[in-house]
Amino acid sequence: MQSASLRLTVIGTGYLGLTHAVCMAELGHEVMAIDVDEDKIAKAARGETPFFEPGLEPLLRKNLESGRLRFTTSFAQAADFGQVHFLCVGTPQGADGAADLSYVFAAVDALAARLGGQCLIVGKSTVPPGTARQVMDRARTIAPASDAVELAWNPEFLREGFAVQDSLSPDRLVFGVTSEWAADLLRQVYSQALVAGVPALVMDLETAELVKMSANAFLATKISFINAMAEMCEAVGADVVRLAEALACDDRIGRRFLSPGLGFGGGCLPKDIRSFRATAQRLGVTSVADLLSTVDAVNLGRRNRVTELARATVGGSLAGKRIAVLGVAFKPDSDDIRDSPSLDVCGRLTQEGAIVSVHDPVAMPSAARINPDLRCAATVSEAADGSDLVLHLTEWSDYRAIDPVALGSVVARRAIIDARSALDAAMWRAAGWDVLMLGQP
């Protein structure tokens, strides 16, 4: 296996693409990143990340300075430059929940029309099985030197908030290929990870596409499972947090993704399970379709449940009530608010006439754009000032450090719903708060 530097392009500079481009440059490759969004490219070329991701901006600057990373909006330049072209464009939810593949097809069409010599196009976006072959057919139909264009699928498993670490040290690499040449080229791209012992699993294109879909389906199922157990705990007066602790001692079950709460959101899990369900329905695989419908319904039910509890806590009507919301990002350590469970709850509260004041360590600007009815507070105590109820909806570690005595002095009523089961309920209760935890007595 060679560890020489390669010339790579990364098409699409969102969460996935920008992180991938920066990390590939960090590993020593020559990288050109391209996007159709001129502002994004201009910003990245100045060393600014258009989103919050711990550790990414310094690494972006370092690699711009080294000259190994550059940005463009020209597909001609990208086609000329790359030996390997990574497709990292978005695959949002489209009609009927199926993935909208138009960005993938537009990107490959624009690239392929300009490809002259031998190269490998590598899909990293999350797509339903069968997409890779369609992309390969399109590229070969359009590219002037069609036989010289190969395709592989190398799905990405990074987690927002840990994206740099996950990209530099992935827990596995999946190579969906149709030739040994493509597998070898991917081994060169990832030579450092392979030397460090990261397993590379080489397989056909469809299996590689399915690995990502089924990984996300499994994670979503695990979250909805524990949330369904929270509902059962509420019905019998049991404690879902103690239940989860006990389940987690079994290695076969494991500890992670077993935190009860408001459920999952973000730019991946919700749209990926719906895309997978749409594929399963189209293929007549009802077991997968039915399972994922239930997982989705349990997940969305959590948002409803928190709204119900909030309404009940403030006396049956939210109209005119002042609610402080802690956390709007879909998860901590991210400013991503795509399908944020918290923002969904905020929308329900404002619709019922509540006056909602929100705080988030990094996601405030995005939240204000999405729902102009929200009052954006600079601090937790500004959000909570005069509130009838505090909702803890995204479990930033900052919120675990809140002093409940101090916060108790600014609210109108000491009532909090911890929808992430992350706060120290005993400490809050000792400070005179009514604390409601989901699935706990």
Ligand X SMILES: NC(=O)c1ccc[n+]([C@@H]2O[C@H](COP(=O)([O-])OP(=O)(O)OC[C@H]3O[C@@H](n4cnc5c(N)ncnc54)[C@H](O)[C@@H]3O)[C@@H](O)[C@H]2O)c1
> Which is catalytic among the residues 23, 119, 233, 268?
268
* CA 402/CA 412 separation, integer angstroms: 17
Point out which span in 103-111, 284-292, 355-363, 380-388 binds ligand X (CB under 6 A): 103-111
19, 158 Cβ separation under 8 angstroms: yes
**Contacting range for ligand X; rule: CB under 6 A; set: 8-16, 57-65, 190-198, 229-237:** 8-16
- Token output for 269: 């899990």
**Which of 3, 5, 28, 36 forms a contact with ligand X (CB under 6 A)?**
36
Binding flag, residue 267, ligand X (CB under 6 A): yes
Cα 88 to Cα 10: distance, rounded to the nearest angstrom: 7
The SS3 of residue 149 is strand
Least distance from ligand X to the Cβ atom of residue 40, Å: 5
Nearest C-alpha neighbor of 318 from the set 353, 348, 347: 353
Tell me: does residue 158 bind ligand X (CB under 6 A): yes
Gyration radius of the chain's alpha carbons: 23
232 token code pair: 């059962």
Q: How far is the CB of 315 from ligand X (least distance, A)?
A: 40
CB of 254 to ligand X, least distance (A): 21
Q: Does position 395 bind ligand X by CB under 6 A?
A: no
Q: Of 156-164, 195-203, 381-389, 407-415, which part binds ligand X (CB under 6 A)?
A: 156-164
Q: How far is the CB of 23 from ligand X (least distance, A)?
A: 13
- CA dist 133 and 105 (Å) reads 12
Contact between 366 and 428 (Cβ < 8 Å) = no
Angle separating helix axes 269-283 and 205-236, nearest 10 degrees: 110
**Applying CB under 6 A, does 17 fall inside the site for ligand X?**
yes
Min CB(308)–ligand X separation in Å: 31
Does residue 88 have an active-site annotation?
no
Angle between helices 56-66 and 15-26 (to 10 degrees): 50
The answer to whether the beta carbons of residues 433 and 414 sit under 8 Å apart is yes
First and final C-alpha spacing in the chain: 58
Closest approach of ligand X to the CB of residue 409, in Å: 39
Distance CA 332, CA 310 (A): 22
- When the beta carbons of 90 and 263 are compared against ligand X, the nearer one is 90
Give least dist CB 99 to ligand X, A: 8
Residue 226: which of 436, 424, 423, 421 has the closest Cα? 421
Given 24, 31, 59, 89, the residue binding ligand X (CB under 6 A): 89
Please pick, from the candidates 13, 63, 227, 281, the single residue that binds ligand X as defined by CB under 6 A.
Answer: 13
Stretches 152-160, 236-244, 413-421, 424-432: which one binds ligand X (CB under 6 A)?
A: 152-160
Kindly state the tokens that stand for 21.
């481009």
Confirm or reject binding of residue 37 to ligand X (CB under 6 A): yes
| 366 sits near ligand X (criterion: CB under 6 A) | no
| 8 Å CB contact between 399 and 426 | no
Each residue 401-420 as x (binds ligand X by CB under 6 A) or -, in order, gives: --------------------
Q: Say whether residue 106 binds ligand X (CB under 6 A).
A: yes
Stretch near ligand X under the rule CB under 6 A, chosen from 102-110, 190-198, 293-301, 407-415: 102-110
Residues in the chain: 441
Instruction: Count the site residues for ligand X by CB under 6 A.
Output: 27
Binding-site member from 64, 107, 121, 226 for ligand X (CB under 6 A) = 107
**Contact indicator for 279, 129 with CB cutoff of 8 Å:** yes
Q: Does 126 bind ligand X (CB under 6 A)?
A: yes
* 414 three-state secondary structure: coil
Amino acid occupying residue 14 = G
Q: Whole-number minimum distance, CB 170 to ligand X, in Å?
A: 11
For the window 306-345, what string marks contact with ligand X as x by the rule CB under 6 A? ----------------------------------------
| Nearest to ligand X of 72, 207 (CB atom) | 72
Other beta carbons within 10 Å of 233:
22
Count the Cβ atoms, other than its own, within 10 Å of residue 48. Answer: 12
Q: Is 291 helix (H, G, I), strand (E, B) or coil?
A: helix
Q: Closest CB to ligand X among 160 and 395?
A: 160
Distance set, CA 8 to CA 38, 76, 79, 251, 368 (Å):
20, 14, 10, 40, 37
Out of 9, 10, 12, 355, the residue judged to bind ligand X by CB under 6 A: 12
Residue 168 contacts ligand X per CB under 6 A: no
- Closest residue to ligand X: CB criterion: 14
Which of 71, 81, 86, 103 lies at the binding interface for ligand X (CB under 6 A)? Answer: 103
Q: Which tokens belong to 57? A: 């901006």
CB-wise, 71 or 396, nearer to ligand X?
71
Report yes or no: 152 and 182 within 8 Å, Cβ to Cβ: yes
Residues that bind ligand X (CB under 6 A): 11-17, 34-37, 40, 88-91, 103, 106-107, 110, 125-126, 156, 158, 160, 267-268
Query: Which residue numbers are catalytic?
Result: 268
